[in-house]
Amino acid sequence: MKKTLILSITTVLILILALVSINIKKTSDLDESDIVEEKKEKVLSKKEIEENEINDIMNSLSLEEKLGQMVIVGFNGYEVDSDFRDLLESYKVGGVILFKRNIKNSEQLLNLNNNIKSINSKNKLPLFISVDEEGGRITRLPEGSTKFPSNKVIGKENDKDLSYKIGKQIGTELNNFKFNMDFAPVLDIYSNPKNTVIKDRSFGTDSEIVKKLGVATMKGLQDSNVISVVKHFPGHGDTTVDSHIGLPVVNHDKQRLDKFELIPFKEAINNGVDAVMTAHIVLPNVDKSKKPATLSETILTDILRNELNFSGVIITDDMEMGAIVNNYGTKNASVEAIKAGADIVLMCHTKEKQIEALEGLKEAVNSGEISIERIDESVKRIIKLKRKYDLNDIKKKNN
C-alpha cells in the first residue's frame, strides 16, 4: 500500500516537473519578433490613450466652439476692446495675432497678453498668441528688445549655428511676453529682384542656403517652446505683385516647384515643422482652376498633405489682404480655404469680416458643403499642436 502511494506521488511529481519544464521551454522559445510585437502594442496603447484624450476634448466642443478654433483674429489698440472680448467670449476664437498697433512698451505688452489669457481662461482650449517676428524690418517687439538682423543679413553669413541661435533667442524673448506662436521663418527664395514684398525677408537666392538657414531658425524657435509657422507655401519669392494689394500670378509648373521653391518646405517638413502658412498666389500651370494657393485643393491637399506628407496645421495668410478680399470676398474665401485643406483662417483686422468668416463656415457645415468630419480633422490637428506645446496644460484642464 505504502509502495503504491509513494509510486503515485512520484508519478504526479514527475508530471508536474514535466509541465513546468514545457512552460519554461515555451517561454524561452519566445523569439525577438514576439518581444518587438509586445513593445509595439505598448506604443500603440500610448497613442490610443492620447487619441482618447483628444476625442474626449472633441466631444466636449459644440460646433461653434470647433469653428472658433479654426480662426485666428487681430484687433486694434493697446488693450482688449469690446469687439475682441466678444470674439473670445461669444465666438471662442482659437487664437490672436498682435501687431505694432497693439504694442506700446514692454510692460503694456505683457499685461495685454496676460489679460487676453485671463479672459480666455473660461474657454475649454487655450489660445495661440501669435506675432510676426522675423527680424529686420518685420519686427513687432517693443523698444528695449533685441533688434534682430534681417534674413538677408543672416543669409550672407551662411552660418547654420548662428541661424539656430537667433531663432532660439527670438523664441526666448517671445516667451517672455507670453507669445507661443511666431509666423516665421520665411522660406521663400528671393529669385525675382523686382519682388518688393519678400526682398530682405528671404535668406537669399539659393535654395540650399534658404533650406539650411530656415530650418535652423525654425528649430531654434521650437527649442524655446514657440511654434514656428514657416511661410509662404508653396513659395512667394518669384512675384512682382504684392499680395497685400493685388493677386500675384506665377507661371511655374510643378516640375519647377519641385526643383526650386519647394526645397526649403520639404526640408522643414522632414525636420518636424508644426505649421505652414499659405501664399495668396495663383499658379495656373499647377492648378488649372487658377485659384490662389490658399484656396487650392491641388496645392494644399494634393501637394502639401498627400505628396509632401505634411500632417501639421495649415494656416492661411491674412484673408483681409487685397489678393483675397478684392477677388473672392472673405466669407466665401474662408469656406474655400477650409475645403481646400487649410485648418485655420487668419483674419487680422475687422470684426465684421471675422464674424462673416465664422458664420460662413457654420452655414457651409449646416448646408453640407463642408462635412463635420472635415471640421473635426482640422480641430484635432489644432488640439494636438496646443497639447504638444503645453499651452495652459490642456490635458489637466480637461480631465
Active site residues: 244, 317
Nearest to 266 by CA among 226, 211, 206: 211
Nearest to 154 by CA among 136, 173, 180: 136
CA angle 32, 36, 39 (to 5 degrees): 145
Q: Which three-class secondary structure state does DSSP give residue 186?
A: strand
Nearest to 194 by CA among 160, 138, 153, 242: 242
Q: How many residues does the chain have?
A: 399
Calpha distance 257→247 (Å, rounded): 19
Antiparallel, parallel or unpaired: β 71-73 and 95-98: parallel
Which helix (DSSP H) or strand (DSSP E) does residue 230 occupy? strand 227-233
Calpha distance 315→275 (Å, rounded): 7
Under 8 Å CB-to-CB from 44, ≥6 apart: which residues?
A: none
Give the dihedral of Cα atoms 390, 391, 396, 397; nearest 10 deg. -170
Give the dihedral of Cα atoms 325, 328, 377, 72; nearest 10 deg. 10
Instruction: Check if the beta carbon of residue 285 is closer than 8 Å to that of residue 251.
Output: yes
- With cell 473670445, the residue in question is 88
First to last CA, the chain: 69
Nearest to 313 by CA among 321, 305, 303, 324: 305
Calpha distance 267→232 (Å, rounded): 14
Under 8 Å CB-to-CB from 37, ≥6 apart: which residues?
A: none
